[in-house]
Amino acid sequence: MLSNLSTAAAGTRDVHSLSLRVMSRRRHPPVVLSSSSSRCHRRNHLIATRASVNTAPRGDVKHAEAKMIERDVLRMGIPSKGRMAEDTLDLLSSSQLSVKKLNPRQYAAKMPAMGDKMEVWFQRASDVVRKVRSGDFDIGILGYDMFAEFGEGADDLVVVHDALRFGECYLALAVPNYGATAGVNSLDELLAMPCWTEENPLRVVTGYQYLAKTFFENVGFENVALVAGDGALEAAPAMGSADIILDLVSTGTTLRENNLKEIEGGRVVESQGVLVANRKSLLERDGCLETVHEMLERLEAHLEAKKLFTVVANMRGSSAEDVASLVMSCDSLKGLQGPTVAPVYTPGADGKPEVNMYAVTICAQKATLYDSVKALRDIGGSGVLVSPLTYVFDEEPARWNLLLDELGMEHDPIRGKEKR
């Protein structure tokens, strides 16, 4: 029995009878799983890749099929408030895709880099998903947790970039460090507790009703009641209105300060900022696919550069080939494709330029930068210069080819055009 209860009814243990007549104050009525549902093998987490989580949509919400409404501009939705909004704008600005809003009270803005062909709309994250799904927006940026919750596995939605590297967090179960769950440390231990029955289900308070329902269905657990909640969920177990919580976790500090703990196997979804799009817009709206390609290139170039540094050092050697061989003998100095070796001209005894030294340039990973510098110095490098990179434009972003595969399109490397 899986049900959805309003927070007003959450204090009672007689959730079975109440769930049949009380509407959740979020979006959908109680859903009851058949007692004949097979108990599938328990999985430690919900596998949520690319477009969504695979389950049926909410029973009472009818999503209109995405329609191609004619308009001359593309529309992009981004979060309007909070840290996600700030991080989104920072990323776009760093990728030379700055958003300009003439009036801070307006919800519409422009992206000058795209000329007059792009409108940017500031919306709640949940509305960004809904409007991309309906076709009101062509593309959007938001957290994957909201995308998975409100996208509900819709085929109209496509993830263009799944790792924008901001807003990292995860959706996870947390149980009290006291009472009946004090000794519980894993999902299996939690679900095996004999106290959870149809009449006395495990009460889980969460703002992620769809993902919670999907998760418990996938682990084959039926005796659970979902309690709707939007904020300060950590207080619910202490108040007696829920047994455990399902909420976003970043550092875990808030959980610890409220005497809660995560359990093994209780992670539901990993989340960070993602770029998403409407499938029909990509396939049918004039200029949409080309614009997404340009945005993807700019974003990838910036994000890739954040991981790298340019390292330049002078080295003595008999030839450029000998210096290159010495550098390439060290795994940490091979760079993206190999070192660049160029002669350094110094004045000779007769005043004419001569070559006794070579400049070696490599790209080093940020995480192993100091190791690369030490390796260069160990083989004779001197005067080492380190500079951050701004952009790294590859031949073609790997995610672009993945997107074309998702859309059933082929890429012609000769003409550089996409075809279905």
Q: What is the average pLDDT score of the chain?
A: 84
User: What are the tens digits of pLDDT across the range 336-394?
Assistant: 889 999 999 988 888 889 898 999 999 999 999 999 999 999 999 999 999 999 999 98
What share of the chain in percent tops pLDDT 90?
Answer: 72
Which residues span the domain enclosing 341? 308-388
The average pLDDT across 249-255 equals 95
pLDDT in tens, 298-308: 999 999 999 99
Is there a single domain that holds both residue 249 and residue 177?
A: yes
For residue 34, is pLDDT > 70? Answer: no
CA angle 201, 205, 210 (to 5 degrees): 95
CATH at residue 238: 3.40.190.10
127 and 257 in a single domain? The answer is no
Same domain, 162 and 176: no
Choose the final residue of a domain: 217, 249, 268: 268
- What pLDDT shows up at residue 28? 35
Instruction: Supply the Cα-derived Rg of the chain in whole angstroms.
Output: 27
Is the domain of 102 the same as that of 124? yes
* Residues 161, 183 within the same domain: no
For residue 406, being part of any structural domain is answered with no
> pLDDT tens, 9-29?
334 333 333 232 222 333 333
Which of 317 and 28 is assigned the larger pLDDT? 317
| Total tally of structural domains belonging to the chain | 3
Model pLDDT, residue 64: 57
pLDDT for residue 58 is more than 60: no
User: What strands lie across the sheet with 108-110, from one edge to the other?
Assistant: 108-110, 118-123, 74-79, 139-143, 273-278, 157-161
| Alpha-carbon span 307 to 369, nearest angstrom | 10
* Residue of 211, 228, 308 lying closest to 269 (CA atoms): 211
For residues 83 and 29, membership in a common domain is answered with no
- Residue 36 pLDDT: 30
What percentage of the chain has pLDDT greater than the value 70? 82
Whether residue 241 is found in the same domain as residue 224: yes
Question: Is residue 404 domain-resident?
Answer: no
pLDDT value at residue 3: 53
**Token output for 50:** 């690319």
pLDDT at 328 over 70: yes
pLDDT for the residue numbered 337: 87
Tell me, rounded to whole angstroms, the distance of Cα 147 from its chain centroid: 9
Q: Are residues 245 and 378 in the same domain?
A: no
Domain presence at residue 323:
yes
Same domain? 175 vs 232: yes
Q: Which of 45-49, 181-185, 392-396 has the lowest mean pLDDT?
A: 45-49
Is the model's pLDDT at 225 over the cut of 80?
Answer: yes
Are 257 and 116 in the same domain? no
282 shares its domain with 326: no
pLDDT at 352: 87
When pLDDT is cut at 50, 70 and 90, the band that residue 51 belongs to is very low
Tokens of 189: 């231990």
- Tell me what pLDDT residue 69 has: 75
pLDDT at residue 44, rounded to an integer: 31
Q: Comparing C-alpha atoms, which of 80, 77, 75 is closest to residue 124? A: 80
Q: What count of residues does the chain have?
A: 420
| pLDDT value at 136 more than 80 | yes
User: What is the reported pLDDT for 351?
Assistant: 83
pTM above 0.85, yes or no: no
Please check whether residue 135 lies inside any domain of the structure.
yes
Q: What is the pLDDT of residue 67?
A: 64
Same domain, 279 and 135: yes
Residue 293 contacts by C-beta under 8 Å, 6 or more apart in sequence? Answer: 400
Confidence at residue 37, expressed as pLDDT on a 0 to 100 scale: 32
Instruction: Write the CATH number for 370.
Output: 3.30.70.120
CA distances from 70 to 62, 116, 117, 203, 407 (A): 23, 16, 13, 47, 21
Residue 399 placed within a domain: no
Give a yes or no: residue 402 inside a domain.
Answer: no
Mean pLDDT, to the nearest integer, of 78-92?
96
pLDDT category at 2 given cuts 50, 70, 90 is low
Query: Is residue 59 a part of any domain in this protein?
Result: no
**Which pLDDT does position 62 carry in this prediction?**
55
Residue 189 has pLDDT above 80, yes or no: yes
Q: pLDDT grade, residue 172 (50/70/90)?
A: very high
In a domain, 212, yes or no: yes
